[in-house]
Amino acid sequence: MTSTHVIPDWFDERLRGELLAHHSKNSHENGYFVYQLDTLKDHLLQLQQQDVIKLWFAVKANPLSKIIQTLDSAGFNFDVASAGELEQVLAQGVSPQRILNTGPAKSKVQITSFIKQGVNIFVAESLNQLFWLNEAALENNVKPQVLLRVQLQWPEGEKNPLGGNSLTPFGLSVAEWQSIQVVDFQQLDICGLHIFQWGNMLSNEKMFLLWSQMIVPLTELANNIGMRLKILDLGGGLGIDYLQQGNNLSWQKIVADLAVIKERAGVEELWLELGRFAVAECGYYVVPVVDRKVNYQQEQLVLAAGINHLLRPAITDQPFPAMLLRESEKSLHAFDIHGPLCTSMDKLGQLPLPEDTTVGDSIVFGFSGAYGFTESMPFFLCHSLAAEYVYSQGELTEVRSAQPATWYLK
Ligand SMILES: Cc1ncc(COP(=O)(O)O)c(C=O)c1O
């Protein structure tokens, strides 16, 4: 394999010294996340250089206070999917008027509580949710904006860019939504449709094809239920090239494509709730190597933490790209990279690292700013929780310290 001299373009070389010094002073940490706030800010401002799309941040991707604050200053609004996410966003001083609530598990109690806290935009994912929203709005004398979440399926054999028609609890079919009439929900401003049923899309052409195919069924649905379709929310799904295969989406092309979709659908507003496309790139996960061995001719590394801090590779079969933190001139070798849990699922991938990678070194995983800390399974085997740091204006600041198991065990 080629020499390690080439620094991967997802890594900011300016952090290397800082992280090496950090590692030598914090040996109790089994792994930590670092988010580069200045890089994030620049990226978000670039996403905002357009007037076609109203941007929301899907908080599930990374609910850390400093991340939310950075998105807030860049003019993003917030999509929350639980009471915890709502509390966290409000705690950063964001107005509830800039928050929308998605998710298939909204109870009447939760809807009422959100309304009482000032949330005024909801994505209804079931008929029950719609009835409960109407009741809660009446009880609290408000008239929230409501988008109906639609789940489409394509006829068998027809070209479907999603590659499948798996049934999920996210939203309802057109047929189910057609059982209602907007006029029957006087306490709601039902003014839009929401559709999002794909993940990590990496082709502009496929996304455009997918969005284009949605226009007819969605506009027909709106007509059939007496809705003036003012808002179309296309969710998230904009991908990150975790496998480093050169499949990067062009934001300019997305903006141009969505301008076409917006016009064809005849809507006033087009919304996206970005998760990974907003924050993945700004984050690294750094973790020490605790063992190295050869097993059946395969080089294996065992890390101090694995899917207890970074679950995504186990559920998607896609590793995050990795590099050795220190510099090495040695050529690259394919290592199986495992974590400490007693399951074969605890594998962060088979990835190229310098031949001399050894016990005590640190490995850096890229694109870990999204679906990292809060998506993982931190309690299994009673390891410490990951620490979280931000890096801004040349300074590394701890936001969450690495908590030992005694902190959460009772
Ligand atoms: C309703 C909703 N919107 C947006 C997102 C963000 O998706 P992504 O990270 O692919 O942008 C999600 C992710 O699950 C979601 O459930």
Q: Tens digit of pLDDT for each residue in 218-235?
A: 999 999 999 999 999 999
254 and 386 belong to one structural domain: no
Mean pLDDT of 64-83: 98
What is the pLDDT confidence band of residue 2, given thresholds at 50, 70 and 90?
very low
Ligand 1 centroid to residue 237 C-alpha, Å: 6
What pLDDT score does 7 carry? 85
327 and 291 belong to one structural domain: yes
Q: Is the pLDDT at 161 greater than 80, yes or no? A: no
What is the length of the chain? Answer: 410
209 and 304 belong to one structural domain: no
Number of domains in the chain: 2
What domain range includes position 228?
102-274
Give the count of beta carbons closer than 10 Å to the beta carbon of residue 118.
13
227 and 336 belong to one structural domain: no
Residue nearest to atom 2 of ligand 1 (CA): 235
68 assigned to some structural domain = no
Binding pocket residue ranges, ligand 1, CB within 6 Å: 58, 60-61, 79, 102, 196, 199, 235-238, 273-277
Q: Is the pLDDT at 156 greater than 70, yes or no? A: no
Instruction: For residue 280, give every residue at least 6 positions away whose Cβ sits within 8 Å of its Cβ, in sequence order, or none.
Output: 61, 240, 367, 368, 369, 370, 371
> Which residues sit opposite 193 in a β-bridge?
148, 232
- Provide the CATH number for the domain around residue 237: 3.20.20.10
Mean pLDDT over each residue of the chain, to the nearest integer: 94
In percent, the amount of the chain with pLDDT more than 70 equals 96
For a mutational test of ligand 1's pocket, the pick from 47, 55, 79, 85, i.e. the residue with the most ligand atoms closer than 8 A to its C-beta, is 79
Pick the last residue of a domain from 274, 293, 317: 274
223 assigned to some structural domain = yes
CA 60 from chain center: how many Å? 6
| pLDDT tens-digit series, residues 287-304 | 999 999 999 999 999 999
Ligand 1 centroid to residue 398 C-alpha, Å: 27
301 and 155 belong to one structural domain: no
254 and 313 belong to one structural domain: no
Asked whether the whole model's pTM tops 0.85, one would answer: yes
In percent, the amount of the chain with pLDDT more than 90 equals 91
| pLDDT tens-digit series, residues 306-342 | 999 999 999 999 999 999 999 999 999 999 999 999 9
378 and 252 belong to one structural domain: no
Pick the last residue of a domain from 225, 240, 274: 274
- Provide the CATH number for the domain around residue 292: 2.40.37.10
Mean pLDDT of 44-68: 98
Residue nearest to atom 10 of ligand 1 (CA): 237
199 vs 291, more confident: 291
315 and 254 belong to one structural domain: no
Mean pLDDT of 118-122: 98
Ligand 1 centroid to residue 273 C-alpha, Å: 6
Q: Is the pLDDT at 3 greater than 50, yes or no? A: no
352 assigned to some structural domain = yes
Strands in 236-382 per DSSP E = 269-274, 283-295, 298-303, 322-324, 332-338, 347-354, 362-365
Pick the last residue of a domain from 250, 274, 298: 274
Mean pLDDT of 169-175: 94
Distance in angstroms (rounded) separating the CA atoms of residues 240 and 256 = 19
